[in-house]
Structure 1
Amino acid sequence: MINCRHFSGYKPCSKNSVCDDSCAQKDVPTCSLLIVHLGALGAVVRSTSLLKAIKRKYPGSMITWVTDAPAHHLLKNHPAIDRVLTTSEADLLQLATLEFEVGFVIDKSLKACGVVKRTQVDQIYGFTVQSSNGAIVPATEAAQELWELGLDNHKKFFVNQKPETQLMIEALELGEYQRDDYWLPLTESEDREARRRKEAWLAENNKSLVIGLNTGCSPVIPYKKLSVDYHRLLIERIQAKFPYAEIVLLGGPEDTIRNGLIQQGYSVISSETESGLRDGLISVAACDVVVTGDSLGMHMAISQKKQVVAWFGPTCAHEIDIYDRGFKLLTKSPCSPCWKRTCEKAIMCYDQVSLEEVIDALESCCANRLSGRSTALNPAP
């Protein structure tokens, strides 16, 4: 039984008190796989879309995923991931004891390639490093297209029309692209809390639908969020147009003060922003529709099968698949997309998002959600 995926060798098995060949939970992996994706939190959520394809190509595989903290909180308790490690030295020591038949390196970074150096991997897909000069290069020919898009802005911005989910499937040689959805399920207790939270929000003002406004974004590209004034104007329009909807402000610790400014004087709910990533995911799951920029909140909303109204300024809308659940709106700024981390323009791209387009998209999303009221809050992937 020592080859069973549930056997640790240092404590009783959680599946069965008797560890022998008669155990109905016995599960011997067919191969050991490593996923290295350290990148942005939203990108890690998006990469859960790979798991179904991985399991199709490697049925029975045992998966170890290495990521940067705090992204490991998003991946914990995932039914398809056997072990989640971070890049802490303690976790890398654990990694050094393991060997893998296959490794998927999704990040184009020296750090990700360095993680692989801490273990033994027979076959690498995605990206690797040219040790002579430290350049990141495709690990196999299949990753050439995704690699080249990172080197050519014209191709990335205007030629490519594939979503990142498809590009990753092709780069990692995971078979025919089947448009697999994100796979980030809540636990049973989290699902219960999402339902309780939604009921409480609706009961507060006797509403019938929850619209979440994801107000923030990563500081890496700070222009992926709407201004405080824009959010306040949006709240006014939503309350006038959709009197049956409760508005909930979503965000993380960096958005706490900002959400207070947005909320001031309005009858809206500000969700908890200081309780961690999983709690934020629960709040997103408790919404019916989410209005957001291209950010972690958007990827969370996609993962929870929400109706999504996502606007794009500095980044590429065609790289995001919202799986026919909502709308992608483009800024009117002529210099979009740019992927710039700093900008000094007098009129920013987030100021050039049409409020009328947001309201029209919301109208369709709310109608879709109300007509599908029997749909599970957190449907199975």
Structure 2
Amino acid sequence: MPNLNGSTVHPDCRHFRGDMPCRPNKEHGYVCADCPVYAPVEQRVLIIKLGAIGDVIRTTPLLRRLRQEYPAAKITWLTLTPAILPQGAIDEILKLDLPSVLHLQAREFDLLFNLDKDKEACALHDTIRATHKFGYTLHPAGVAWPGNARAEHKFLTGVFDQLSLANQKPYVQEIFELCGFEFRGEEYVFDTHEDKGYNWEALPQSQPRIGLNTGCGDRWTTRLWSDTQWIALITQLQQAGYAPVLLGGTAEEERNQRLHAATGACYPGTFPLEQFINLMHQMDGIVTQVTMAMHISIALAKPTILMNNIFNPYEFDLYGRGQLVQPDRACVCFYRGTCKLGTSCMEDLPAEKVFKAVLESVPQAR
């Protein structure tokens, strides 16, 4: 090991920082020469998964397999949303910016997984040194391209609707296969933020709480359910002894206020991301469209009632908890943000169908 001015230093240790004291030194006074927690890194792994938030969340099962296959690895993850990643499960979380790019390009890795087709992600795949690379590269034409045969399936289902519609593999399985692994049902790795001590006394205490995520973002508005349907579902839940809790962000504020006024359903308000995650953790079940809240619900191992219309239902793995429900009318707007028929088929998903799925997935007593 290097000896600097009479001091032994272990730059290969997972705890070593280089620019400041490591945690073992800070907390226990350990030094490298006789450190009892010295953990030499045997593999250096880089994951590039930038966004969106939901796709970052549903890539975390890969961490479980990497820790199993490479227990002495140092895992680095580059993303646009560091706050969503489980801090304790990843050695180094980097936000995509110029400083991160510069120092990643000066390092060497044993394994590099680029799971994004963004041009900047593909360019980084090509310019960062790694012994083994998986995922997407940058074609000379300036577009994403499969870096090897393992990436071809996931690549093609993303560029041809016909192949995407015919696909029967869940997203997580596709990601595992792209990385050279067989998917064995690995669960998400996620932080509930329960240690933050948030106060939820305003939530219903005696009845099972059913979180209702009433929005879906502004890109795929064909997923939206009308106020009339939400009110019908809330009423049925209340009559059956459940406590509906309205969930959403600032985009759903107006709608949730309307639903609260019409039904008396609990609406605790809007919160920063970590607090919103912990609020969802307080639920006994979640009703949601395909959106960020769906990924959070699955990651929190909640019974998830997933309302889907425009996406391939095989894409989603609920891990045996909850149900996927779809409109009674077949959707003809695959991956479309506007309905070709004028009125979204979500209006043909009756509240009774969603209510029945809640009954079958969430016990009526806490």
Deviation at 1:13, TM superposition (A): 1.9
Match in the other structure for 1:185: 191
In structure 2, runs of 5+ residues without a counterpart are: 1-9
Structure 1 counterpart of 2:21, from 12, 17, 20? 12
Separation in 2, partners of 1:251, 1:355: 19
Separation in 2, partners of 1:15, 1:282: 29
Partner SS, residue 111 of structure 2: strand
Q: Report if aligned partners of 2:126, 2:137 keep a CA contact under 8 Å in 1.
A: no
The change in CA–CA distance for 1:138 and 1:233 in structure 2 (over 3 A counts) is same
Question: Taking structure 1 as the reference length, what is the TM-score of the superposition?
Answer: 0.87
Separation in 1, partners of 2:215, 2:175: 26
1:119-138 alignment, distance < 5 Å: 119-131=128-140, 133-138=141-146
Question: Taking structure 2 as the reference length, what is the TM-score of the superposition?
Answer: 0.90
Counterpart check, 1:302 vs 2:302: no
1:1-381 alignment, distance < 5 Å: 1-16=10-25, 17-68=29-80, 71-77=81-87, 79-117=88-126, 119-131=128-140, 133-157=141-165, 159-174=166-181, 176-187=182-193, 189-190=195-196, 192-193=197-198, 196-197=199-200, 200-203=202-205, 207-240=206-239, 242-243=240-241, 245-273=242-270, 275-336=271-332, 338-367=334-363, 370=365
Partner SS, residue 323 of structure 1: coil
Q: Report if aligned partners of 2:187, 2:299 keep a CA contact under 8 Å in 1.
A: yes
Counterpart code for 1:249: L
Percentage of identical aligned residues: 27
Separation in 2, partners of 1:179, 1:358: 26
Separation in 2, partners of 1:41, 1:74: 7
Counterpart code for 1:151: V
The change in CA–CA distance for 1:265 and 1:277 in structure 2 (over 3 A counts) is same
Separation in 2, partners of 1:151, 1:210: 40
Separation in 1, partners of 2:330, 2:138: 36
1:87-133 Cα deviation digits (max 9, x unpaired): 222333343343212111111221211233553233210111112x1
1:40-63 Cα deviation digits (max 9, x unpaired): 211111101111122223221111
The change in CA–CA distance for 1:181 and 1:231 in structure 2 (over 3 A counts) is same
Deviation at 1:306, TM superposition (A): 0.5
Of stretches 349-358 and 92-101 in structure 1, the one that deviates more from structure 2 is 92-101
Separation in 2, partners of 1:328, 1:293: 10
> What value does the CA root-mean-square deviation take over the aligned residues?
2.0
Q: Report if aligned partners of 2:247, 2:267 keep a CA contact under 8 Å in 1.
A: yes
1:321-353 Cα deviation digits (max 9, x unpaired): 000101001123323460012335332122111
In structure 1, runs of 5+ residues without a counterpart are: 374-381
Q: Report if aligned partners of 2:48, 2:77 keep a CA contact under 8 Å in 1.
A: yes
Separation in 1, partners of 2:283, 2:116: 31
The change in CA–CA distance for 1:127 and 1:117 in structure 2 (over 3 A counts) is closer
The change in CA–CA distance for 1:24 and 1:214 in structure 2 (over 3 A counts) is farther
Separation in 1, partners of 2:348, 2:194: 41
Separation in 2, partners of 1:164, 1:230: 29
Deviation at 1:22, TM superposition (A): 3.1
Partner SS, residue 44 of structure 1: helix
Of stretches 335-344 and 164-173 in structure 1, the one that deviates more from structure 2 is 335-344
Please identify the structure whose Cα radius of gyration is greater: 2
Q: Aligned pairs, how many?
A: 354
Separation in 1, partners of 2:160, 2:323: 27
Q: Report if aligned partners of 2:333, 2:340 keep a CA contact under 8 Å in 1.
A: no
Separation in 2, partners of 1:322, 1:277: 22
The change in CA–CA distance for 1:254 and 1:89 in structure 2 (over 3 A counts) is farther
1:254-307 Cα deviation digits (max 9, x unpaired): 22222212222322222342x322111111111000000011101101111111
Separation in 2, partners of 1:4, 1:256: 48
Separation in 2, partners of 1:336, 1:24: 62
Separation in 2, partners of 1:114, 1:220: 26
Counterpart code for 2:157: L
Counterpart code for 1:82: D
Separation in 2, partners of 1:135, 1:11: 40
Q: Report if aligned partners of 1:87, 1:115 keep a CA contact under 8 Å in 2.
A: no
